[in-house]
Structure 1
């Protein structure tokens, strides 16, 4: 008996046994997001509908940003979980802040972080008080590329994605900093990148007679945001947020709220100031969240 996929349709030759069907389920159950548990007992009838339902659950992994191997053509009982049959790496892309926990499949021997990026800092607020000044731009989050670690089947991988910094009230010194991103294997930290720092708020800095400066970039590879400027009773745009290879910092604008960063890891734009005009305090833009893309290899 042999079977495989062709355009997501099953080709069958001979009789499919419950042990074969269950082995396919066990193969994909090594991926934590696969929750299909419809195992068969010896003697159960396995229909085309059963197989299509299992296929639909496998396809759902791809719809969650997984790239996974199909069941190899020519599979025979007890021969599925072999390194030679794992022709494609397993990829996962994650970008929303929070913790993501995975269990490595049995055949995994390594993990490569193609990207691990921290959150960007927010822009500082501009203020019209006194002579006025605009806010500094947020720094971009640190990042690492193409870093590999050994891995064994069954080990637990935790990836934490740091959120972008949020703007702060005008009496604080600077905008909110982005949060760190990191990876653990079996709860042991293997890699960390730090968040970008928020740009300085204008009101806190204006009385010192200096320009509000942009937030510093995270480590490693982060970039500082652009500086704000003293207004001297004039109008001034805020500093630009710092870019990353995967994100664009908030740009200077005359809007009441600084421009938010877009993409991943970039810094928010600093708020402007307009002499004797409302709202009197122009909050900075938000930083962008971090990002991870990793590959499990056999």
Structure 2
């Protein structure tokens, strides 16, 4: 009887002792930090400093873009095909001369490690909208359309940027209107009503509106470089409703040299290299503020 009483007392005392022990938290722990029951399941976990050699799983990096980094220059030799543009007394056609100009400019720009595209490589005549579509599908690109006039002092050059007919005409220097804007065919062009450019839906016929300021900056830089190379040229670029520029959703200008009515074809041929140098220098100056990342990579 005494043994049974002793065993019962021992059992009771053991139970009391167990109840007196501190209760160990059964909460799960992640890297030594307990999750509070009051913490929302979606709340971020405290960051941990991994020990050396610890392999931490990370989200796979996003695949890099396949687009060539830096600036793309789209050179547009105007006219082509059965559209010869201006014709000279020696049989020279504007379409042939500006194609040679574009090829020389491409060499100068590629020497700066820029990506260069031509709207035509030979005697083709892409429509206005096909030429525009070529650049509207790109990012970080500019457009330079090349022309030769049939008027104006021989050996002069002018740059143009687009102005919408309904907008006030910007004030330019008195010599800036010495010739008319580059001539383009007046035949109507069929165009889609809208395009998707840079994730924004833009009206095709007003695509240039968002880039007018940048186009004016580019035209100003170009004209500054043309002036010392083509004596007698205007000091400032010209604002004009050049048809080709209207449907381009990027900085876009036109350059026109004078003139096709030369009796010596070599005079036009000799303009190719100064023109290429002027474009190359102006694009280099425009390239860096337009694309700061490219400037950092080149140390400019």
Scaled to the shorter chain, the TM-score interval is under 0.3
* Bigger radius of gyration: 2
| TM, length-normalised to structure 2 | 0.26
Higher helix fraction (1 or 2): 2
| TM, length-normalised to structure 1 | 0.27
Higher strand fraction (1 or 2): 1
